[in-house]
Structure 1
Amino acid sequence: MPGRTARTLGTIVAIVGIVMVIAGGVTYYMVHNELKAANITVADDAAFLAGDEVDGPFSAYAQAQIIDKHALEATGGKTYAQLDRDDPLRQTAMSASFLRASLFTSVVAFGVAAMAIVLGLMQVLIGWALVSLSRREEVAYEKAPA
């Protein structure tokens, strides 16, 4: 019967898409909850979102940026790599670097989760289109003269 392969493929693509949407949503929610549980607030002197709770990609980015500003102020504008090994400010620069890396990792995780959701939705639409086209092909085949 014509269209069976397209229908099967469409169904598989749609199911994979649904799984991606769910996985992306769960990931986004988990990262949000973990950040929220850390009880971090964007510093009052941040360029944007000052005073906001760090629980999403934009607030995490804002906090990472202000941590960098504060660390550079504390170290006289020097980064970890620029400070001498025995400089006590090197620990401050290193801690700031680790905090920023953690926040940027959450920003990336939010982005990947959002991308999984969007790609999953696209797969659902493609799967639906394949199934619809296969049904049309079957109807056309049944109506065709023998």
Structure 2
Amino acid sequence: MTSTARTGSRTARIVGLVGIVAGVVMILAGATTWVTVSSQLEAQHITVSEDAEFLAGDTVDGPFSAYAQAQIIDHHALEATGGKTYAELDQDDPLRATAMNASFLRASLFTSVVAYGVSALVMGLGVLFGLFGWALRRLGADPAPVDLVDDRRPADLTTV
């Protein structure tokens, strides 16, 4: 094996190890974020409204229940304001505070939904990084011997 082949093999193994370590860190970071967001939501003791389209009565502690509660808050706010949003209500309209509170609550719940999405993305990328790292390490572990590589053109092979 030539010096260049050994150097390439070593580099592939090091890069592979970095990929595996990065993958593990990403999986742990994503899972930690997921658990943190879940526990913080659960600590608020929010229950999805009974008239929600889905997950009615469920504790808000995950992305789907947070989304369901955000949707029903919007429904209730629009019902209370006659179908008008915060921006459509007059500044002196007493229902503007209701629309504003509903908007803030929905934004908070959607922030948690986005956090779940980012957590899932990071965990998925962590798996990919780990797999790519593992593959690089495997490729770097057993390079093909240089003398077995035949670099002659097909025309040259017929004269053997």
Aligned residue runs from structure 1 range 13-52, under 5 A: 13-52=19-58
Aligned residue runs from structure 1 range 1-146, under 5 A: 1-2=6-7, 3-137=9-143, 140-141=144-145
TM-score, normalised by the number of residues in structure 2: 0.86
What is the letter of the counterpart of residue 61 of structure 1? Y
Query: Which structure's CA Rg is the greater one?
Result: 2
Q: Distance in 1 between matches of 2:88 and 2:11?
A: 61
Q: Spell out, residue by residue over 1:74-133, the C-alpha distance to the aligned partner (whole angstroms, 9 max, x if none).
A: 001100000000000000000000000000000000000010000001100000000001
What is the letter of the counterpart of residue 113 of structure 1? S
**Percent identity, aligned pairs only?**
61
Runs of 4+ aligned residues of structure 1 deviating over 2 Å after TM superposition are 140-144
**Displacement of 1:136:** 1.7
Q: How many residues align?
A: 143
What is the letter of the counterpart of residue 58 of structure 2? D
TM-score, normalised by the number of residues in structure 1: 0.94
**Displacement of 1:141:** 3.2
Q: Spell out, residue by residue over 1:1-48, the C-alpha distance to the aligned partner (whole angstroms, 9 max, x if none).
A: 240000000101111111100000000000000000000000000000
Q: Distance in 1 between matches of 2:34 and 2:142?
A: 38
SS at match of 1:50: coil
SS at match of 1:77: coil
Q: Distance in 2 between matches of 1:100 and 1:143?
A: 66
SS at match of 1:14: helix
**Displacement of 1:142:** 8.7
What is the letter of the counterpart of residue 44 of structure 2? A
Q: Distance in 1 between matches of 2:147 and 2:59?
A: 62
